[in-house]
Structure 1
């Protein structure tokens, strides 16, 4: 991702019912858009990572041994996502 050496540092406050607003500068740099599906995982006490579903899939594909990632997995996941959104 270009421009990541210019990472903005922002503060945010966890709101009611666990809502967190991602600052606009962070959204822009990370190329996040309204409606993007995100995966959130805790990595340590007081720390978590937020990634788009597509970023997680790309990371998993890159980590998988050559020839072991089945494109049918993508098709099944995409179909499940579409069904969930209907």
Structure 2
């Protein structure tokens, strides 16, 4: 049961975002796909951030590492969003 909690939270979060920012309906399969993509993306980013921290001798991932990884991914949308959140 505990292993399902993160998936349930992710799906609920995705549904809430879609509801707030869109007037379209989304099939449940799309929610599942977005949830899985979120998991894969976060895992990929955290793995690269961890490697950067190991190289720098740091014990914790900070926003600098996340920005570095996102910059290398050339994901302008996420970088702009992250910069807005930091203000």
Q: TM-score, normalised on structure 1?
A: 0.29
Higher strand share: 1
Q: Which structure has the higher relative contact order (CA within 8 Å, separation 6+)?
A: 2
Q: TM-score, normalised on structure 2?
A: 0.29
